[in-house]
Chain A
Amino acid sequence: MTTTTPTARPTGFVHDTAAVFVRESRPLVRDPFSVMFSLVQPLIFLGLFGPLLVGAAGGDVAGTLQWFVPGILVMVALFGTASTGANLLFEMQTGSHERTLVAPLSRSALLVGRALKEVVPLVIQGTIVVLVAVPFGFTLHVPGLIAGLAVLAVFGIGFGALSYTLALACRNRDWMFWMVHQTLLFPLMILSGMLLPLDDGPAWMQVAAAINPLSYLVGAERALLAGDFGAPAVVGGIIAAVVTCTIGIVVGVRAMKRAR
């Protein structure tokens, strides 16, 4: 009988976060077309809602796209990251989440590594949406696009973390996750002025938009994608993204530490 030599070594937060990030990203690397799944909805809005917007506003296609595409990018960030908690929910039910809880991983890393992974599909999807719009007259400002995607990434990490928090809170109640998800998502989307300007809406809607972080994000994306780095909206968007990110990570890490 030989004795076993344990090979596990103590690790730190950064190592653990990277390990979780790599695990979460692998299915995406193995099957890159899976990012297309969450692209279907934004592309439908771009293709079917966009022309209506052109007709209703009476403007030219290029100008409308310049206004509309940044909103679609925010939609990509919103819808892509909002449902990511469902993956965790599923892993909590099957047992693979439990396996990671028994591994000597820092609890914070389990959340942060997962949330950071959201950046990868988000950046790929955002880039695709913009490239699809270019042939129709959308003017591409590369530095603006990079800055815009960076702000969206910060927001996406936070919103993804909130989605994971929701999953941890719902545990084995899928229906509750999807109910909260559906209840919040559409009001957040409509009250951000992403699809239609809210200027002509009733006052209460404008108040709701003023407290919706997504409105600021949409404003910042419109400025950044037009290459207007100096616009005041940019600052508002950055603040909204950073606040979402901070809240998401703090709340998410707390929920993960309590996870059983």
Chain B
Amino acid sequence: MTNQMISAQGLTKTFPAKGKVVEAVRSVDFSVDAGELVAFLGPNGAGKSTTLRMLTTLLPPTSGEAVVAGSDIRRDPAGVRRRIGYVGQGTSGGHTQRVRDELHAQGSFYGMGRRETRLRADELIESLELGQVAGRQVQSLSGGQKRRLDIALGLIHRPELLFLDEPSTGLDPHSRANLWEHIVELRRETGTTIFLTTHYLEEADQLAERVMVMDHGQLIADDTAWALKNSLAGDRVTLTFETATDAAAAAARIDGEASGSIVTVTAPGGDRALPRYIRSLGDAGLEVVAATHRQPTLDDVFLALTGRSLREEAAHAEPAEPELVASA
């Protein structure tokens, strides 16, 4: 029995759009082991959701293959569907449905017995703090409550693997933190493998052990957040001098970049390098008047990889993802 939860080879999706062919996902290869928590990071339109929709059998791949939770996405989509949980970008609960009713319906959709469904629904209502709203219509819930119901619906059949597509988008900071507590708790208690897409850098950084970065339909990096930051970005040390002349001299000594009276240098282990720089430059008569050290973020990683900032991309108007275009 293999320990692999997802294995994808050459996964590709193209869409016809306005007479052209859009390559949403270009030959993506990767695997995820049981128990991992993987964050799939990238700007809007990078192909994250399309990849997710192929892995969850919502979209047939143009070419390539993938085995998800032990079943082939092409040959046995029903097997995949039985074993995975999926929380999409939208609201999973029907607006006029009541919370508990939806959980019961979901249990029957997964072939669970009536009693088993009731017990499981009660369990999820309690653990996801939905008790207060269990008898209410979905449309009357707050954003955070709706999202917790989405998670509960995705977990009704105790899936081995949970897909979350932009789980915290649109939530206020408090609800987002609360949602994450629930996800972390779920993982601690059950060891469920979690595969999520996000464009919140901090989220991927703090919570995922492994970060996969996607851009223009291709996987461009795949490692722990720590390794990505160290190998691709490095710490950033900024030193300020009295004069631009001093700064230029200092930049030459420590292989930095001078801009006016400020020198920036990228160095691994920048926190340890900082006192060394100040000492050695001071010995050479170049006095540092101010110094900062900043640890790299995943945005620096993305910048190093693509030359673009993910933060800026997120700030732009969101373009329609290709998967929203009607496709055959």
Which residues of chain A have a CB within 8 Å of any CB of chain B?
Answer: 1-11, 15-16, 18-20, 22-23, 26-27, 30, 90-91, 93-96, 98-105, 171-172, 258, 260
Contact = CB atoms under 8 A, between A and B. Distances in A.
Interface residues of B, number: 50
A102 B86 contact: yes
Interface in B310-328: 323-324, 326-328
Contacts of B82: 6, 8-10, 104
Contacts of B323: 260
B120 interface: yes
17 contacts: A1-B191, A3-B190, A7-B112, A7-B158, A8-B157, A19-B105, A22-B108, A23-B109, A26-B97, A27-B97, A93-B90, A95-B89, A95-B91, A96-B93, A96-B95, A96-B97, A99-B153
A94 B111 contact: no
Given A102-B81, A260-B327, A8 B90 contact: no
Contact of B109 (A19, A93, A98): A19
B96 A27 contact: yes
B120 A94 contact: no
A35 to B, nearest CB: 13
B94 A8 contact: no
A11 B81 CA distance: 12
Contacts of A26: 97-98, 101, 105
B111 A30 contact: no
A96 to B, nearest CB: 5
A4 B327 CA distance: 36
Contact of B88 (A8, A11, A16, A98): A98
Query: Which one of B58, B59, B92, B106 has the highest number of Cβ atoms from chain A below 10 Å of its Cβ?
Result: B92
A22 B157 contact: no
A30 B112 CA distance: 23
A26 B53 CA distance: 29
> Majority SS of interface residues in chain B?
loop
B58 A95 contact: no
B223 interface: no
A92 to B, nearest CB: 9
Given A4-B190, A104-B110, A260-B323, 7 more contacts: A3-B190, A93-B90, A95-B90, A95-B91, A96-B90, A99-B86, A100-B109
Contacts of A98: 58, 88, 90, 92
B111 A8 contact: yes
Given A26-B97, A99-B153, A104-B81, A7 B110 contact: yes
Contacts of B106: 99, 103
A23 B97 contact: yes
Query: Which one of B91, B150, B153, B192 has the highest number of Cβ atoms from chain A below 10 Å of its Cβ?
Result: B91
Query: Which one of A2, A90, A93, A99 has the highest number of Cβ atoms from chain B below 10 Å of its Cβ?
Result: A99
Given A11-B111, A171-B326, A95 B88 contact: yes
B58 A7 contact: no
A6 B112 contact: no
Contact of B94 (A4, A11, A96): A96
